[in-house]
């Protein structure tokens, strides 16, 4: 039974550090009192606190962007990645001992990081949902007066996601898959504090229970990804069961659509030049739509625009660049763009979970330990493939299409990746008594 006089809103807190933490928060906007609060730039944040946050963010983006520049870039990235490293899962063992990054972050909290934010929220406490562990640490350390929930944004997580005294912590975890739950237990987190909710996906791409919007989009996508009907003929009964009849005969007028998205640090922007050049003929002939995602970074937008100009494609609308200065505006438009995207090409960031929409993912090189685990998870469920040499994308991409492999990857993602994360998180945080949801496996 729902709790009487239950709160109808939450406080939703992310950090402005790349896209992952804010992208995970975006689908929960309608539940959030005051929208998404940004822990490292909220109104009233002290200059000292802002400086602490900005130093970490700036260092991450610079190192990520120049990681392949030897020797300084590669060395600096290796050190940064070591500090964030996720230990091998096997053999299973006690991993509750703290790590360097975690101790550093906890010391930041003890020195005041997040203190002012938690004091503000404590004036009228609501359930606190955050996508970054430092915020959860601060809420616990400064005695936040309501429940604290932490959304995990990757397919596996480092030790820094759980506090030093993980067994004694009151933080509840909302995790995307079973592996993250098992990992947190190795870190010492109590099992009853972990809920396998799934990653929160935008309702604009899901459509609520039963996933009606996803199904409509996937019907069109399967047709574009299987131009010779190899997959549709072989798996006719499966497709009819999940997507309805008529797919074998269905046609879709729009061109094949590929979306290339770089991360928040803009580390893979240079690859766009190679991709556009290789696909230039297809763009000129109009049988391909290519979306370049600059996100909220003006420098990446200007770089993509320069590529379009240099390749003589300024008058071609089917080479589209998405840029919005405001991240929330960017997420909203990106989500709409995904509805007509047939292939998403990106590094294995939090976007791996968007494979649940039935979008096959071509994976660029992982950046960091967590993206390596994301890569492995996506490969395991059969929803992603590694990029080949971008110089020859005009060959291997269409070979994959003609074989039906990408259609198969799309269906694998739809069937195997969790889609109901946003709804499950609402159920856990707002609609049930704690005693009623302990030990519930939602996936």
Q: How many CB atoms lie within 10 A of CB 321?
A: 18
For residue 443, the model assigns a pLDDT of 46
Q: Is the dihedral of CA 392, 393, 395, 399 positive or negative?
A: positive
Q: Which two tokens stand for residue 246?
A: 């008529």
Mean pLDDT of the chain: 90
94 — pLDDT class (breaks 50, 70, 90): very high
For residue 59, the model assigns a pLDDT of 47
Q: What is the DSSP string of 406-427?
A: HHHHHHHHHHHS---HHHHHHI
> In this structure, are residues 367 and 64 in contact, taking their beta carbons and an 8 Å threshold?
yes
Taking phi over 0 as left and psi of -120 to 50 as alpha, with beta for the rest, 127 belongs to: beta
308-331 pLDDT per residue, tens: 999 999 999 999 999 999 999 999
Q: Is the dihedral of CA 161, 167, 170, 176 positive or negative?
A: positive
d(Cα 115, Cα 161) in Å, to the nearest integer? 19
For residue 77, the model assigns a pLDDT of 45
Backbone angles phi, psi at 34, to 5 degrees: 80, 15
347-385 pLDDT per residue, tens: 999 999 999 999 999 999 998 889 999 999 999 999 999
For residue 438, the model assigns a pLDDT of 46
Nearest to 150 by CA among 354, 3, 11, 335: 11
The answer, yes or no, to whether residue 198 has pLDDT greater than 70, is yes
- The secondary structure of residue 97, as a DSSP letter, is S
Q: Which two tokens stand for residue 174?
A: 């909302």
Mean pLDDT of 397-418: 97
Q: What percent of the chain has pLDDT over 70?
A: 88
d(Cα 249, Cα 395) in Å, to the nearest integer? 26
Q: What percent of the chain has pLDDT over 90?
A: 79
Q: Are strands 384-386 and 361-363 parallel, antiparallel or unpaired?
A: parallel
Mean pLDDT of 273-290: 98
End-to-end C-alpha distance for the chain, whole angstroms: 20
**Sheet-wide strand order for 194-196:** 32-38, 10-14, 128-130, 148-151, 172-175, 194-196
Give the SS3 label for residue 290: strand
For residue 58, the model assigns a pLDDT of 47
For residue 3, the model assigns a pLDDT of 45
For residue 7, the model assigns a pLDDT of 67
For residue 283, the model assigns a pLDDT of 98
> In this structure, are residues 349 and 364 in contact, taking their beta carbons and an 8 Å threshold?
no
For residue 268, the model assigns a pLDDT of 84
For residue 55, the model assigns a pLDDT of 59
Pick the residue with more confidence: 201 or 265?
201
30-78 pLDDT per residue, tens: 999 999 999 999 988 888 888 878 755 544 554 455 455 555 545 544 5
d(Cα 315, Cα 211) in Å, to the nearest integer? 37
For residue 431, the model assigns a pLDDT of 77
Q: What is the DSSP string of 46-68?
A: -HHHHHHHHHHHHHHHHHHHTTT
| All domains of the chain in start order, with CATH | 10-201+421-437 (3.40.50), 203-416 (3.40.50.2000)
138-191 pLDDT per residue, tens: 999 999 999 999 999 999 999 999 999 999 999 999 999 999 999 999 999 999
394 — pLDDT class (breaks 50, 70, 90): very high
The answer, yes or no, to whether residue 122 has pLDDT greater than 60, is yes
Mean pLDDT of 271-280: 97
> In this structure, are residues 262 and 295 in contact, taking their beta carbons and an 8 Å threshold?
yes
- The secondary structure of residue 381, as a DSSP letter, is T
For residue 265, the model assigns a pLDDT of 64
Mean pLDDT of 331-336: 98
For residue 412, the model assigns a pLDDT of 98
d(Cα 80, Cα 104) in Å, to the nearest integer? 13
For residue 5, the model assigns a pLDDT of 58
For residue 436, the model assigns a pLDDT of 47
Nearest to 358 by CA among 348, 373, 343, 371: 343
């Amino acid at each position: 039974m729902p709790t009487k006089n239950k709160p109808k809103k939450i406080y939703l807190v992310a950090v402005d550090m790349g896209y992952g933490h804010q992208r995970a928060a975006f689908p929960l906007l309608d539940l959030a009192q005051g929208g998404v609060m940004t822990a490292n730039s909220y109104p009233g944040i002290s200059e000292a606190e802002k400086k602490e946050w900005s130093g970490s963010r700036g260092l991450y983006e610079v190192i990520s962007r120049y990681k392949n520049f030897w020797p300084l870039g590669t060395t600096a990235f290796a050190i940064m990645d070591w500090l964030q490293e996720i230990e091998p899962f096997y053999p299973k063992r006690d991993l509750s001992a703290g790590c360097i990054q975690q101790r550093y972050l906890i010391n930041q909290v003890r020195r005041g990081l997040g203190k002012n934010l938690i004091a503000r929220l404590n004036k009228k406490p609501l359930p606190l949902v955050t996508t970054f562990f430092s915020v959860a640490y601060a809420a616990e350390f400064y005695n936040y007066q309501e429940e604290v929930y932490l959304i995990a944004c990757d397919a596996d997580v480092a030790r820094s996601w759980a506090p030093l005294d993980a067994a004694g912590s009151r933080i509840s975890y909302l995790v995307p898959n079973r592996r993250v739950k098992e990992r947190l237990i190795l870190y010492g987190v109590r099992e009853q504090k972990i809920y396998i909710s799934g990653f929160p996906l935008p309702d604009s791409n899901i459509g609520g229970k039963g996933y009606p919007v996803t199904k409509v989009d996937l019907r069109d996508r399967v047709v574009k990804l299987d131009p010779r009907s190899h997959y549709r003929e072989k798996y006719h009964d499966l497709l009819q069961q999940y997507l309805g009849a008529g797919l074998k005969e269905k046609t879709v007028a729009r061109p094949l659509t590929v979306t290339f998205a770089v991360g928040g640090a803009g580390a893979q922007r240079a690859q766009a030049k190679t991709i556009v050049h290789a696909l230039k003929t297809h763009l000129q002939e109009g049988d391909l739509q290519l979306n370049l995602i600059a996100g909220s970074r003006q420098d990446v937008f200007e770089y993509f625009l320069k590529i379009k100009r240099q390749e003589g494609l300024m008058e071609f609308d089917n080479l589209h660049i998405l840029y919005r200065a405001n991240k929330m505006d960017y997420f909203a438009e990106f989500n709409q763009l995904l509805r007509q995207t047939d292939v998403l090409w990106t590094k294995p960031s939090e976007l791996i979970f968007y494979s649940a929409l039935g979008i096959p993912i071509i994976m660029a090189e992982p950046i960091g330990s967590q993206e390596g685990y994301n890569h492995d998870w996506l490969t395991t469920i059969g929803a992603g493939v590694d990029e080949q040499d971008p110089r020859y994308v005009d060959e291997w991409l269409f070979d994959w299409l003609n074989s039906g492999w990408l259609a198969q990857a799309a269906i694998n993602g739809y069937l195997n990746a969790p889609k109901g994360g946003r709804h499950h998180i609402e159920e856990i945080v707002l609609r049930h008594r704690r005693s009623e949801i302990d030990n519930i496996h939602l996936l």
